[in-house]
Structure 1
Amino acid sequence: MPKRLLSHTLIFNDSSKAKYLHDLGNFCRSYSYNPEAQLYGQSSGGPYFDSQAGGGHVTTVVSSASGGVPTHGMVGITMDVGSSHIISSGSTYLIHGGNMEGSRIASHKSSLLNSHLQWLLDNYETAEGVSLPRSSLYNHYLRHCQEQKLDPVNAASFGKLIRSVFMGLRTRRLGTRGNSKYHYYGIRVKPDSPLNRLQEDTQYMAMRQQPVHQKQRFKPLQKVDSMSDSLCGSSQHCSSTPEQSVAAQSQHHQQYIDMSHSLPPFPTPDLGTQPLPERINMNDIKKLQTLYRDHCEATLDVVMNLQFHYIEKLWQTFWYSTPPPSDGSTTLPSRSERKRGKKASKLVALCKYEPVRLWMRSCDHILYQALVEILIPDVLRPVPSTLTQAIRNFAKSLEGWLTNAMTSFPQEIIRTKVAVVSAFAQTLRRYTSLNHLAQAARAVLQNTSQINQMLSDLNRVDFANVQEQASWVCQCDESVVQRLEQDFKVTLQQQSSLDQWATWLDNVVSQVLKPHQGSPSFPKAARQFLLKWSFYSSMVIRDLTLRSAASFGSFHLIRLLYDEYMFYLVEHRVAQATGETPIAVMGEVRVFKERGRNSLSYAATDSFSSKLQFSDLTSMMPSLMEKGSSSFFI
């Protein structure tokens, strides 16, 4: 029959707890423990022992009120310490088996365990979809032990501790063949941890401590950043590019981009009644669909990992662009090169087919819109300058990379793809500029004295005169203008935050465009609103300038921000109304400019310019020619 020892509450600090364990272990030496693990809180009874075998096994339950292990929200922490097995839950410890050889050893092991646990909880956190090299984590631990003069446990014991603290951790083998490493999946270094300053495995961690997609096809074969470091001698100063700086700080920058974004589905090519090109069948088009989808997913993965400099290589690989030999020599093509040439010629034939070109353009609109939403998910949120500058440099390089990769392809497909890439690059430049303006304006809107000065100067503006001058051009409803004026003053007087101003601007757009909702004239009305908003605000700034307003600089900054944000809002409203992406809407602007250049060039070179009809100009420039068309040419 089982015997029960004296029932009582156990509340000890580390030293008294160790002594109690030693004495109780000697007292219960003749009892074997119940294999059912039992945990007792501070008010629960003592443990149960079985009176049968007299082995040296004992189960002791101790509840500590001294808070040896910090509260962390995890359930159950296990670790091998010597010959004992410690399990803790909250402030409760369960030690399985083994003799406690002295209070000093037990106290040392307990404090060592607490130190390890505290270090883990201070520097790491669970995160869905990220991974961390197992060796890097153990190296961090060894470094910590060396700095704190602690005795480290072996890798196996440390692994048990990790899995117990961070429940649900999985191990994955990641990396290219022959260079793979074991990773803990579901854990990352905390953004504010000093471990982020360590330089070991920086490039590898930057690439891997991101969400792992099911089809991550592109894996860089070279670590450019580490190679450049190794090529720099100790006496030579190497300046890093913004892109390399982003790669080194990617753990910090993860929080500023949208890591959860995935590539939306692509449409299928609309072949219509057009016959297929010679030597092209439906199977070739289906293969192209699969290959292009893979290519776009690889592009998204690379951008999400902030590895912008790999985009050029990706494009060269897909478009079969082979750089010439550095020594200028020519050699006979190998068998693989001849096979590659056949594939390239088939891709060229497919790109000459108009339905394929239009399908690629639609896919590019979807891809680049996804990239914009990944890199700049919130145009008003503060972003580090290193990330912003890297994005701008990336945008500056895109057109050159693409045209160089597609030199052997027809001009039609090059123009189609460059138009979309140009819209993407322009969008990145506009959004980063808008973000920069937002951060500068935030300081103004948070300054009470500046806000009071702005309100005082604004009340001196002769809005009746402004309205009289603007009405001839804008032809706005006077009641609407007066309401906006009063709303602006009230919002300014309330010292609203930037987010509150953004909400106000969004409401203005909604109110003005509501009558045109669902109408084919919606895009035209949206463009007209932008023109009128810009003209009216410029008249207010003009009045402030003539009055030498003390807050003119603040108003000028606010006006720039609000104009840009209005453009951003209208762009998205038009895209939503037309069922297109904002990238597609901006891509039409480039097409419009190309048509205008071609048409005007034709009119200048051909004395018989009757083919360039006035109606053509009207359709090309609807925002400028809506009213009083003839006055445009005066």
Structure 2
Amino acid sequence: ENGPSCPLHDAILSFHLRYHYYGIAVKETSQYYDVMYSKKGAAWVNETGKKEVTKQTVAYSPRSKLGTLLPEFPNVKDLNLPASLPEERVSTFIMMYRTHCQRILDTVIRANFDEVQSFLLHFWQGMPPHMLPVLGSATVVNIVGVCDSILYKAISGVLMPTVLQALPDSLTQVIRKFAKQLDEWLKIALHDLPENLRNIKFELSRRFSQILKRQTSLNHLCQASRTVINSADITFQMLEDWRNVDLNSITKQTLYTMEDSQEEHRQLIIHCTQVATTTAATPTSILTPSRASIQLNVERCN
């Protein structure tokens, strides 16, 4: 692809080339085989020692989602506005805010995370004077909350469509850094604006940051587990170790420390113990989960 070099893209490509240099790949007969792991894209060394690349396959990049549009925002015609709130100004604000959110999404897709701070500061601190009175309205604040939820869901979807998708360490680190910085950027951008607006923005951004951190952690766990699951020897040894764990004793001690008011948690622990006991008694040959079952369990945790 001709054009300016992107540091994140270069880092992803470098990661993938190193990954294939050592000949690491998933067997085509494996249920975890995927085109991105195919040896067709692996770098290899021929008999003369010269490194050759047949076809480079790059790990997932948000740039593949360029052109993604946000879902529809609330329509002012569908809202029951108080008489004191001009419909025209609310409609104008929603239009302005959608443009602002789309710019943030486009910036994230291009992996220019640092530019998000500039967009936040420019939008909120550059708000036209005639629009300021409507920002403290409970109706407008709720609209902002709905729009932010739509934006954050879209961002999460383009950054990590699924936690089973292999991500390079460089991208994971950038996502975690973004999640950590977002709250501080909002504090600066929302300075001197209505308190109820700041509260809803902070609440949703912190929840979003937690989701990103959880997704990156699950992604890392999935990638580490993939190697283990594909090794029959390791899986067998893990099962043997699991069978030697005294689950009944652990369960009794855990339940003893819990209060009676935590009945829901008690039932959950008992259920998990039953599942674990059943798993320990299951033959190793049928323990390997399918990709679909892994994804289902991940979504339950997410």
TM-score by length of 1: 0.35
Q: 1:432 to 1:477 in 2, by over 3 A?
A: closer
1:494 partnered with 2:290? no
1:267 partnered with 2:74? yes
- Distance of 1:294 and 1:495 partners within structure 2: 49
What is the aligned counterpart of 1:298 among 103, 116, 127? 103
1:430 CA drift (Å)? 1.3
Q: 1:419 to 1:352 in 2, by over 3 A?
A: same
Q: 1:385 to 1:491 in 2, by over 3 A?
A: farther
- Distance of 1:395 and 1:363 partners within structure 2: 18
- Distance of 1:311 and 1:491 partners within structure 2: 51
1:315 partnered with 2:99? no
Structure with more relative contact order (C-alpha pairs < 8 Å, separation 6 or more)? 2
Segments of structure 2 that go 5 or more residues without pairing to the other structure are 14-56, 259-265
Give the AA of the match of 2:109.
M
Q: 1:266 to 1:390 in 2, by over 3 A?
A: same
Give the AA of the match of 1:262.
L
Match of 1:377 in 2: 161
Give the AA of the match of 2:183.
E
The 5 A counterparts of 1:201-600 are 201-202=4-5, 245-246=7-8, 248=10, 255-257=60-62, 259=65, 261-268=68-75, 272=80, 274-277=82-85, 281-321=86-126, 344-466=128-250, 468-469=252-253, 474-475=266-267, 482=274, 485-487=277-279, 489-490=281-282, 492-494=284-286, 496=288, 499=291, 502=294, 506=297, 565=298, 568-571=299-302
Give the AA of the match of 1:201.
P
- Distance of 1:426 and 1:388 partners within structure 2: 14
User: Does structure 2 retain, via aligned residues, the 8 Å contact 1:445–1:498?
Assistant: no
Q: 1:384 to 1:478 in 2, by over 3 A?
A: closer
Q: 1:480 to 1:430 in 2, by over 3 A?
A: closer
1:484 CA drift (Å)? 5.3
- Distance of 1:435 and 1:477 partners within structure 2: 25
1:405 CA drift (Å)? 1.6
1:371-424 residue CA offsets vs partner (Å, 9 max, x unmatched): 001001111222111111111111111111122122131222112112111111
The 5 A counterparts of 1:81-120 are none
Q: 1:273 to 1:311 in 2, by over 3 A?
A: closer
Give the AA of the match of 2:83.
P
1:431 CA drift (Å)? 0.8
1:256 CA drift (Å)? 3.7
Q: 1:462 to 1:363 in 2, by over 3 A?
A: same
Match of 1:524 in 2: none
Match of 1:66 in 2: none
User: Does structure 2 retain, via aligned residues, the 8 Å contact 1:395–1:428?
Assistant: yes
SS across alignment from 1:284: helix
Give the AA of the match of 1:263.
L
- Distance of 1:320 and 1:480 partners within structure 2: 51
- Distance of 1:358 and 1:302 partners within structure 2: 25
Q: 1:498 to 1:389 in 2, by over 3 A?
A: farther
- 1 or 2, which has the higher helix percentage? 2
1:494-529 residue CA offsets vs partner (Å, 9 max, x unmatched): 3515736616x63xxxxxxxxxxxxxxxxxxxxxxx
Match of 1:621 in 2: none
1:133-192 residue CA offsets vs partner (Å, 9 max, x unmatched): xxxxxxxxxxxxxxxxxxxxxxxxxxxxxxxxxxxxxxxxxxxxxxxxxxxxxxxx3xxx
- Distance of 1:390 and 1:358 partners within structure 2: 30
SS across alignment from 1:255: coil
Match of 1:154 in 2: none
- 1 or 2, which has the higher strand percentage? 1
1:268 CA drift (Å)? 2.9
Match of 1:36 in 2: none
Q: 1:308 to 1:459 in 2, by over 3 A?
A: same
Give the AA of the match of 1:569.
R
TM-score by length of 2: 0.70
Q: 1:311 to 1:286 in 2, by over 3 A?
A: same
User: Does structure 2 retain, via aligned residues, the 8 Å contact 1:351–1:357?
Assistant: yes
Between the aligned residues of both structures, percent identity stands at: 27
Q: 1:468 to 1:368 in 2, by over 3 A?
A: same
Q: 1:284 to 1:482 in 2, by over 3 A?
A: closer
CA RMSD of aligned residues (A): 3.2
- Distance of 2:145 and 2:229 partners within structure 1: 42
- Distance of 2:81 and 2:68 partners within structure 1: 36
1:247 CA drift (Å)? 5.4
Segments of structure 1 that go 5 or more residues without pairing to the other structure are 1-188, 190-194, 207-244, 322-342, 507-564, 572-634
Q: 1:273 to 1:248 in 2, by over 3 A?
A: same
Q: 1:385 to 1:464 in 2, by over 3 A?
A: closer
1:348 CA drift (Å)? 2.0
